[in-house]
Amino acid sequence: MARPRAFDPDTALQDVMNVFWKKGYEGASLQDIEAATGLNKQSLYRAFGDKRAMYLAALDIYEKNIIAERIAPLVNTGDSAYDRFDTLFTNAITARTVNGDRRGCFLCNASVDQAALDAGTGQKVQAMMGRIVTLFDGALAATPPFDRDADARRAQAQALLAAFLGLRVLVKAGIEESALIEAKDAALAPLRLVAAA
């Protein structure tokens, strides 16, 4: 009797994530997922559940691996809040201009593609954004005057999240780099003024 093919669930889920990230929920077929993972439908369902469960698991992997890596400048440096966010926003711009990555942000894509259509996706997207705001809040707390006013800091973190996700959409849309830099500079102007004071 033949042994079942062994596979690494983490690698397979990474492949599933890449399919959904590139094609979206509706655009990704099970055949696309089978081709990317090398697994048949039954194996995928056994390992991860149905297509919706795979999509939600892909968002989890995206947060764990990709978002954590991209947000590292906020938590791994002693720089000012302005410098931390400038690095984060600049890295988002150069993801396309240097690496040619036009997939955009999977979280943004899911927000537009599925959050309003599926309650589970909507809840996951809101929770992910909430965790990012908390990280942004923590990065702001390292710099006066944000360290003294929790309400103002939280509002600034929300504004930065909106600007960052908007920038990620503009990057995906192929907007010129000079316009992206102008948008970044305008979004970070309040932090730059604080840093210069």
Neighbouring residues of 67: CB distance < 8 A, sequence distance ≥ 6? 107, 128, 132
Dihedral sign (CA 114, 108, 124, 48): positive
Q: What pLDDT sits at residue 36?
A: 97
SS3 for the chain, per residue? CCCCCCCCHHHHHHHHHHHHHHHHHHHCCHHHHHHHHCCCHHHHHHHHCCHHHHHHHHHHHHHHHHHHHHCHHHHCCCCCHHHHHHHHHHHHHHHHHCCCCCCCCHHHHHHHHCCCCCHHHHHHHHHHHHHHHHHHHHHHHCCCCCCCCHHHHHHHHHHHHHHHHHHHHHHHHCCCHHHHHHHHHHHHHHHHHHHHC
Q: What pLDDT sits at residue 102?
A: 79
Q: Provide the residue type at 156 as one letter.
A: Q
**Local confidence pLDDT in tens for the 197 residues of the chain:** 443 456 789 999 999 999 999 999 999 999 999 999 999 999 999 999 999 999 999 999 999 999 999 898 888 667 889 999 999 999 999 987 776 777 889 999 999 999 889 999 999 999 999 999 999 999 999 788 888 999 999 999 999 999 999 999 999 999 999 999 999 999 999 998 876 76
pLDDT in tens, 162-195: 999 999 999 999 999 999 999 999 999 999 887 6
CATH number at 7-62: 1.10.10.60
This prediction has a pTM of: 0.89
Q: Residue 71 in contact with residue 137, Cβ under 8 Å?
A: no
Q: What pLDDT sits at residue 3?
A: 39
Q: What pLDDT sits at residue 37?
A: 96
Please report, rounded to a whole number, the percentage of residues in the chain having pLDDT higher than 90: 73
